[in-house]
Amino acid sequence: MSRSRRIVKDVVSSMAANRSRTALMVLALAVGAATLSAVVVLGQGTREQVLEAVDKHQLDMIMVRAGGEVQVFAPGADLGLDALRAEDARAIEAQIPGVSMASVVQNQRGIDVVYEDRSVTTRAFGVEPTWMEIRRWDIQEGAFIDEADVAGMSRVAILGVDVAEQLFPDGGAVGRTIRVAGDPYTVKGVFIEMGYDAAGIDNWDDRIVVPHTTASRRLLGRDYAEQIVLRVSDAGRVGEVAERVRAVLRAQHSIQPGAPDDFFVREPDAVEDAALETSRTLTALLIGLSLVALLAGGLVVMNVMLLSVSQRTHEIGLRRALGARAADIARQFLLEAGFVALAAALLGGLSGVLIAQLLGILGIAPSRVTPLPFLAAGVACVVIAVLFGTQPARRAARIDPALTLRERGA
């Protein structure tokens, strides 16, 4: 029998003879491997979800926000900045051929909406008829606002799915009269389900939409807008159009050269970059925590193997006396750590994937299974096992066979 085969046989025999010790080491590493593989699966699912949400913004939409600071997602509270008006949207449409349509957007959080004995506090938006086409939303029931609604400042409202379900759990919202901030409005339509924004913060289904003239003159009582959304006719020229939008708005607002803008032009790439950065930061934090669990498992493996070395000094001394080299002893203990790592990677990888899938089924977090979590668990376990198994292997290899046999004989 070759030397390598004998070492492998000795490793298997030793692990089988000390099943409790082996199980303890495997479980210690498997916890960290399960955590790491679950994080990878959830991270991949989150990335996929973010990209799907970013796709809803479309690559041909530009958003202008009031305020000079860089704003990628909607702020947590309405800023109430008096910087953008309908005249700005019309100037952009008239002066920039690359803009196919534009809509002003007003919004206000904390709007009470009531129907009979049911009520909900939501976010109200005042928009123009082109808004839905720019945002590529759709209606599942009824119709969207039209030019007649805008011209007549009509008290009509389009409900997000969540608002419609809370006020009309049995359906039939269209045509009903609701009270928005105390005034009667007719439900003209209900949006399709849209979900959350790319950041996973703003629930697009928790809102109502009214004509912007109704919002300006009746609901919100202000003539400025929080946003202007634009559709670009050629998605490949978004950057060029964005620069022209900045130039038009600076002229509209009489901003002198060198002075800061009182608006922010957000291009589609900014949404994707910021959303993925958020996802990457969260995933990196969770991977860090899983590595801490793996390091703790590695410490357990090292201590158990050191204890094993002290308990097997006579066995090691006898093998050395029968011709085993110090390198053979070290290889035996490193192989033992390697086998433990492979078993932990398999057990932890499967457990982590199953946990992540369960979280996905329960709707707690998105998951996406690929070979990557198993590869990550395997590599991490092997690296940890080798790092923490090296010290016990060296100690075992340094055992003096003559000394151990004399102590045994005494």
Q: Compute the average pLDDT of residues 177-203.
A: 86
224 and 315 inside one domain: no
- For residue 257, is it within any domain? no
Q: Compute the average pLDDT of residues 378-401.
A: 79
Q: Which residue range forms the structural domain that includes residue 154?
A: 61-233
- For residue 242, is it within any domain? no
pLDDT given at position 409: 46
Q: Are 127 and 212 in contact (CB under 8 A)?
A: yes
pLDDT given at position 77: 47
Out of 13-17, 149-153, 268-272, 297-301, the most confident range is 149-153
| 294 CB-near residues (< 8 Å, 6+ apart) | 29, 32, 33, 35, 36, 380, 381, 384
Residue 341 in this model has a pLDDT that exceeds 80: yes
41 and 151 inside one domain: no
Q: Compute the average pLDDT of residues 233-254.
A: 87
Looking at 225-234, 326-335, 385-394, which range is the least confident one?
326-335
Q: Are 129 and 144 in contact (CB under 8 A)?
A: yes
Amino acid at 271: V
SS3 272: helix
Q: What is the mean pLDDT of the chain?
A: 81
pTM: 0.57
| Residue after which a domain boundary falls, among 184, 216, 233 | 233
- For residue 210, is it within any domain? yes
278 and 349 inside one domain: yes
pLDDT digits (tens, 9 = 90+) for 42-55: 777 776 766 665 55
Strands 208-211 and 118-127: parallel
Q: Compute the average pLDDT of residues 103-125.
A: 94
| Residue after which a domain boundary falls, among 204, 233, 262 | 233
Residue 197 in this model has a pLDDT that exceeds 70: no
Residue 207, CA atoms < 13 Å, CB-side half-sphere? 21
139 and 9 inside one domain: no
User: How far, in Å, CA of 184 to CA of 58, rounded?
Assistant: 35
Strands 139-142 and 183-191: antiparallel
197 and 160 inside one domain: yes
143 and 163 inside one domain: yes
151 and 38 inside one domain: no
Residues 255-280 as b or e (16 or more Cβ within 10 Å = b):
beeeeebbbbbbbbebbbebbbebbe
| Of residues 142, 317, 125, 301, the one with CA closest to residue 229 | 125
75 and 198 inside one domain: yes
Q: In total, how many domains does the chain have?
A: 2
- For residue 336, is it within any domain? yes
Q: Compute the average pLDDT of residues 109-121.
A: 95
- For residue 258, is it within any domain? no
Residue 243, CA atoms < 13 Å, CB-side half-sphere? 3
123 and 28 inside one domain: no
39 and 77 inside one domain: no
Residue 369 in this model has a pLDDT that exceeds 80: no
48 and 65 inside one domain: no
Q: Are 228 and 104 in contact (CB under 8 A)?
A: yes
| Residue after which a domain boundary falls, among 233, 263, 287 | 233
Looking at 146-237, list the stretches that DSSP marks H as alpha helix, in order from N- to C-terminal side.
147-151, 161-167, 212-214
